[in-house]
Chain A
Amino acid sequence: MRRVAEQTAPPESTGAIGAISAGPPGPAPDAPPHKPDAAVVRDALGVGIAVGLSGFAFGVTAAGSGLSLLQICALSLFVFTGASQFALVGALAAGGNPYTAAAGAFFLGVRNAFYGLRLSQLLAFPRALRPFAAHWVIDETTAVTVAQPDRRSARIGFTVTGLTLYVLWNLTTLVGAMGAEALGDTEAWGLDAASPAVFLALLAPMLRSTTERVTAGVAVLLALTLLPVLPAGVPVLLSALAAPLVLFLMGRRRRGAATASQKETTEKKGGRDS
């Protein structure tokens, strides 16, 4: 029964691109073989510019957390993955020690490894180019790249999105960090809401099935319950346990349901809806 479920499940529904629903699904086998370069560039610029500009919010938030201009720019230049940057700055501002803060940021960055796996097949960059391309393997470049119909478009999409985003994100980080002082009290401007809003915007497209929603719910409960009792940074790390916990419980439930339906109706084909 479980074997049937596994075979009928779409192979990519749990894959790396499952995490990126910002863009349309990956290239279908019968997709049109060619897409004009200009159209690819337009898509890529749209994403690159919109998200690149939000580096301003990061610059301001980081400055409000007490980081120096050099530290803030170093983060955007060398970390260059927004969620991890916001998480690190938030954890440091809350008084977390550097190791738990970095661990939280790192775990958020681990998803990029799975994006890279998918991209390396689509882009097929030469080995020598990969260490440089790696730095641009993030949510947005992946979303644009997997949406392209062929390798040429994928390469253009990746490069244009990556370049636009890298340049703009770093420029707006600098402007935001320098502007924070001029703004004075960043809380009066509501800028402390920018960081959680960024997280929510990244999270929303991932909440596609019950498993994701339950995981998010459990993680929120864990985070808020643990916040008052544990040192800063630790509650978020422990909330990550919601992922294996929900996987384990869902797996048990599915197995339970499968055996139950097997007992009830030995004739019928049950247990398909995984």
Chain B
Amino acid sequence: MNVWIAIGLTAAGCYLAKYAGLLVPAGVLERPLVQRMATLLPVALLAALTAQQTFGDGQQLVLDARAAGLAAAALALILRAPFLVVVGAAVVVTAGVRALG
């Protein structure tokens, strides 16, 4: 049930955010501070999520095969690889390191 509550809230919230952008008069969202916050907020969230899902295990910090996988993804990004290759590199390297370890 808890999961359905989370899904319902997320679906409603995310849809309203998308729709709001198409409806709201341009002036409101075009204030410089609002714009800068909008650009930076996803940066902060995505960085935090990347770190947490790479080094977090429940409430513990760990260094395991995922770190190697993410390093591979970072390298793929630097080489301007397509999205799917980046994700694939992370998965394959993580699996490989686990198989070896």
Residues of A at the B interface (CB closer than 8 Å) are 6, 14-16, 18-19, 50-51, 53-54, 57, 67-68, 71, 74-75, 78-81, 83-88, 90, 92, 94-95, 97-99, 101-102, 104-121, 125, 130-131, 133-135, 137-138, 187-204, 206-207, 211-212, 215-220, 222-224, 227-228, 232, 235-236, 239-244, 246-247
Contact = CB atoms under 8 A, between A and B. Distances in A.
Contact of B6 (A94, A101, A247): A101
Interface residues of B, number: 73
Q: Is the interface of B mostly helix, strand, loop or mixed?
A: helix
A135 B50 contact: no
Nearest to A129: B22
B50 to A, nearest CB: 4
Contacts of B40: 211-212, 215, 242-243, 246-247
**Which 3 A-B pairs rank lowest in CB-CB distance, beginning with the nearest?**
A116-B21, A190-B95, A190-B94
Contacts of A115: 18, 21
A190 B48 contact: no
10 contacts: A85-B10, A92-B6, A117-B30, A133-B22, A190-B95, A190-B96, A197-B86, A206-B46, A223-B47, A224-B52
A82 to B, nearest CB: 10
A18 B26 CA distance: 16
Contacts of A15: 30, 35, 39
B87 A197 contact: yes
Interface of B: 2-7, 9-11, 13-15, 17-24, 26, 29-30, 32-33, 35-56, 58-61, 65-66, 69-70, 73-74, 77, 82-84, 86-87, 89-96, 98-99
Contact of A53 (B24, B84, B95): B84
B50 A203 contact: yes
B2 A98 contact: yes
Contacts of B5: 98-99, 102
Contacts of B9: 98-99, 102, 106
Contacts of A51: 83-84
A220 B56 CA distance: 12
B22 A193 contact: no
Given A79-B11, A207-B43, A246-B40, A87 B49 contact: yes
B43 A212 contact: yes
Given A101-B6, A134-B22, A228 B44 contact: no
A200 B74 contact: yes
